[in-house]
Homo-oligomer: A and B are copies of this chain.
Amino acid sequence: MQEVKVFAPASVGNAIVGFDMLGIALEQPGDEIIARYSDAPGLRITAISGDEGRLSCDPQRNTAGLAALKLLEHLDKSGIGIELEVHKHMPFGSGLGSSAASAVGGAFAVNLLLGSPLSKKELLPFAMQGEQLASGAWHADNVAPSMLGGVVLIRDNASLDVQILPSPPDLHAAVVYPQVEILTKSARGVLAPHITLKQHVVQSGMLGGFIISLFTGDYALMQRSLHDTIIEPQRASLIPHFYEVQAAATEAGALGCSISGAGPSIIALCRGKDAAALAGEAMQSVFTAAGIAHKLYLSAINPNGVKAIL
C-alpha cells in the first residue's frame, strides 16, 4: 500500500452527563487524513485544507503530525519517508473535538500505512499526545470516541482505561454549532475548582442512570438522566441563547440537550432520526431568529470511529 486515506469523526465530549469522562462519536462531520510513502526520509505535512491558514505544516506543531511522529518514534520508524495531508472538514473551537479528530486521523493513517502494527486502543496514547498539543491537557473524552466509536467512558484518564458502552440503534444526535468561538482553555477557566458533595451525588446518579439506559434501551430513564447539573450552569453564559436553544430542543422532543464539549456547539440526544431532525430544526430556529450564523449536524452514534475510506 503506497497511500491511505482515513476519516476521523467529530465527537461530543462530556456527553451531557459525564464531564471529562464520557464522549460520543458522531458520523459526521470529521477530518480526512492522507498518508503516503515518500522518498525523502522523515515525516512531512505536504497539504492542509479547511483550516483557514491556522495550522502549522511543522509536524511537531500540528496535532495530526505530532501524533504520527510519536507513533513513528515508538515503532522506531522515524526515518521512513512519509507525507501527510490534513483536510479539515469541521470548525476549530466548536466543541466537536476537531483537534482530537486530526490527532486520531494522523496516528491511525500512519499505522494503517505501515500495515496496522498497533490496535486502535494501542494508538490512543499517540493520538493523545497530538491532542494535548492543541488543548494543553490530557483528556481522552474526544480522542477515545473518535478512535473507537460509540459512547465511551474514560474509566481512568491517566492509564487510558476506556470502555465502549453499547448504544441503542435508534439513538441519534442533533448538534448545532453557532459560529462564535470558545477556546477550550477559556471554557475550562470559568469552572470552579470545587463542587459540593451533594452535587457529586446528584450528578453521579445521572451518570449511572445514563449508563444503565444505554445497556437496557430504557429511553424514559435516559431522559430522566440526561442533565448536567455541574458544568452547564457555569458555561451556559458563554453561549448566546443557550437556554432558549435547550428549551426548544426539549420541547421538540429531545431526550436531553446540553453543551457539546467545551461549547459553543449544543447537542440534543433523541430517539430516532426524525426526532433528531425536529430537535435540530427547533434549535436552529433560535439562532436564526437571533441572527447568529450556525451549522446543523444530524448523526446516529458512530459505532466504528476512525476508518479507512477510498
Report A's interface with B, CB cutoff 8 A.
18-22, 153-157, 161, 163, 165, 191-209, 211-212, 215, 221, 224-225, 230
Q: Do B201 and A19 have beta carbons less than 8 Å apart?
A: yes
> Knowing A21-B205, A195-B195 touch, does A153 contact B212 (C-beta < 8 A)?
yes
Contacts A207-B208, A208-B18: A221 and B155 contacting too (C-beta < 8 A)? yes
In the bound complex, residues from chain B placing their C-beta under 8 Å from that of A192 are: 197
Are B230 and A200 neighbours in the complex by a CB distance under 8 Å? yes
Determine how close the nearest CB of chain B comes to the CB of A66; give it in whole angstroms: 25
Assembled-state Cα–Cα distance A211/B192 (Å): 28
Residues A205 and B165 in contact, CB atoms below 8 Å apart: no
Are B205 and A156 in touch, CB under 8 angstroms? yes
18 contacts between A and B (CB under 8 A): A18-B204, A19-B200, A19-B201, A21-B201, A21-B204, A21-B205, A153-B212, A154-B205, A155-B209, A156-B205, A161-B205, A161-B209, A163-B212, A193-B198, A194-B196, A207-B208, A208-B211, A211-B212
By a CB distance below 8 angstroms, the chain B residues around A157 are 201, 205
Known: A19-B201, A200-B200, A203-B200. A163 touches B208 (CB 8 A): yes
Measured CB to CB, the closest approach of chain B to A197, in angstroms, equals: 6
Shortest distance from the beta carbon of A161 to any chain B beta carbon, whole Å: 6
B residues less than 8 Å from A197 (CB atoms): 19, 191-195, 230
